[in-house]
Structure 1
Amino acid sequence: MKTFQLNGTARTDLGKKAVKGLRKQNLIPAVLNGGELVDLPYNGTLKPCEKLVELTGGKKGIIVTDFTVTKDSVRKLVYTPDIFAVELNIDGEKKMAVLKDLQFHPVTDAILHMDFLEVTDKKPVVMDVPVQLEGHSEGVRAGGKLSLSMRKLKVKALYTNIPERLVINIDNLGLGKTLQVGDLHFEGLELMNAKNAVVCAVNLTRAARGAQAKQD
């Protein structure tokens, strides 16, 4: 993956009034969820912009950092089909992260909130990775029509091993045939989608059916 550099500013005022004020300044509230679990009770020191979120069971938690980013700074991160590893710089402290969730205004489509997950080169992360088909399908050459059912696949791997796209060769995909998740293999990556989920297919067209009938 490419790396996207993003500057943020820590925030401590989390009330609704404060959030409205931020948005009037073209700022977007965001959180960075810590990638490592911490033991509870927590004996460390939290910064003013950090809070401890207890997980189910009460013995572990994660540290969440509240911050803001400008609308302009995230435009090329959000409005693109590409995926990125994000180098977050929050008031001078750098951490690697991936974008996990976005909230949009239901009417204006303005970004209301962003969720990031801190990543390391030791713990796998799950991401949706775009699919890119390459090659010339046998079925298409025979008159079929190629359809792509899954534009992204859910991948689990170290973030350093996740590619920008999953390139799938379809040269041998015949007429009326499908390519399922279980048919795919990428070194260092675990595909999390259902094995029988159809990624792409070459469908029979009326012309292809006619040609096939004549051959029969």
Structure 2
Amino acid sequence: MSGDRLKLEVREREDLGSRPSRRLRAQGLIPGVLYGKGHSRAIVVPERDLRTAMTGPSGLHAILDVVVEGHATVHAAILAEYEQDPIRGTISHIDLREIRLDQAIHATVVVHLIGESAGVKTGGVLSLIARELQVEALPSNVPEHIDVDVEHLEVGDVLRLADIPAIENVTFLDDPHETVIATVSMPRGYAEIEEADAAAAEEAAAEGAPEPEAVEEGEPSDIISEE
């Protein structure tokens, strides 16, 4: 759970726009916005400090004690959203959202599949369908990730949200019966091979079957016995 609280020191920024933001990134600083109730402020945070917060025990769901330079107030916040450079993979922008620790929040949590499926051991392919799930919980109860056991899945099985155990103090927001977590199927082309083999077997069986006994032709009087 994301009960860990990490201090994150930021400072306000006045120069907005893409050009000033590029200059900040070149200095190892990440531009962002801290959203509060009814207000927001543009901020900048050292990339090193941000990465430390994001890679801690609670991952992306850590509760951040945000302190703005020159102010004593501590803002409890979470990482609401972040952008990455598509080429370098570095963080380019963040959105922090102030929260109340006694009020539930909505969060997106990553799904981790645990174990080797029984169907995979017999040649099947395990597919993760729902990579993330929407949950509602108090900030301190939001899980870092959701572990789903798939060892029991056989070929042809479909694992839905309704099939996984409930998590204490966490409410799933996705439809439990419509949300597919994982499936196990045979490799592409395997079904066609099985069908072809079955058709060939049927054809071979038909060719080897004895032909029906022929009935000699003759006059009706020769075939129909007299009473």
TM-score (norm 2): 0.66
C-alpha contact 1:77 1:84 (8 A) present in aligned 2: no
Residues 15 and 133 from structure 1, CA distance in 2 versus in 1: closer, same or farther, beyond 3 angstroms?
closer
Alignment root-mean-square deviation, CA? 3.1
In the alignment, does 2:90 pair up with 1:89?
no
Distance 1:171 1:109 in 2: 33
CA offsets 1:72-120 (integer angstroms, 9 cap, x no match): 2223445799323123222243222211112344555543321011122
Deviation at residue 24 of structure 1 after TM alignment: 4.3
Distance 1:77 1:149 in 2: 29
Distance 2:153 2:86 in 1: 40
Alignment of 1:59-70 (within 5 A): 62-70=38-46
Deviation at residue 9 of structure 1 after TM alignment: 1.3
Alignment of 1:135-214 (within 5 A): 135-184=115-164, 185-195=166-176, 196-205=178-187, 206=190
Using the aligned pairs only, state the percent identity: 27
C-alpha contact 2:61 2:143 (8 A) present in aligned 1: no
Which structure shows the higher strand fraction?
A: 1
C-alpha contact 1:83 1:129 (8 A) present in aligned 2: no
Match of 1:83, SS state, is helix
CA offsets 1:41-94 (integer angstroms, 9 cap, x no match): xxxxxxxxxxxxxxxxxxxxx221322101222234457993231232222432
Distance 1:111 1:93 in 2: 26
Distance 1:107 1:138 in 2: 38
Deviation at residue 139 of structure 1 after TM alignment: 2.4
Distance 2:168 2:92 in 1: 37
CA offsets 1:108-152 (integer angstroms, 9 cap, x no match): 554332101112222221222121222443323443222212222
Where does structure 1 lack aligned partners over 5 or more consecutive residues? 37-61
In the alignment, does 2:27 pair up with 1:25?
yes
C-alpha contact 1:6 1:89 (8 A) present in aligned 2: yes
Distance 2:22 2:162 in 1: 47
TM-score (norm 1): 0.69
Residues 164 and 110 from structure 1, CA distance in 2 versus in 1: closer, same or farther, beyond 3 angstroms?
closer
Aligned to 1:58: none
The structure showing larger relative contact order (alpha-carbon pairs under 8 Å, at least 6 residues apart) is 1
Deviation at residue 198 of structure 1 after TM alignment: 1.6
Residues 178 and 67 from structure 1, CA distance in 2 versus in 1: closer, same or farther, beyond 3 angstroms?
same
Q: Which one-letter code corresponds to 1:112 in the other structure? A: S
Match of 2:95, SS state, is strand
In the alignment, does 2:123 pair up with 1:121?
no
Which structure shows the higher helix fraction?
A: 2
Residues 147 and 4 from structure 1, CA distance in 2 versus in 1: closer, same or farther, beyond 3 angstroms?
farther
Deviation at residue 161 of structure 1 after TM alignment: 0.9
C-alpha contact 1:8 1:67 (8 A) present in aligned 2: yes
C-alpha contact 1:4 1:84 (8 A) present in aligned 2: no
Distance 1:160 1:145 in 2: 36
C-alpha contact 1:3 1:84 (8 A) present in aligned 2: no
C-alpha contact 1:26 1:71 (8 A) present in aligned 2: yes
Distance 2:92 2:144 in 1: 26
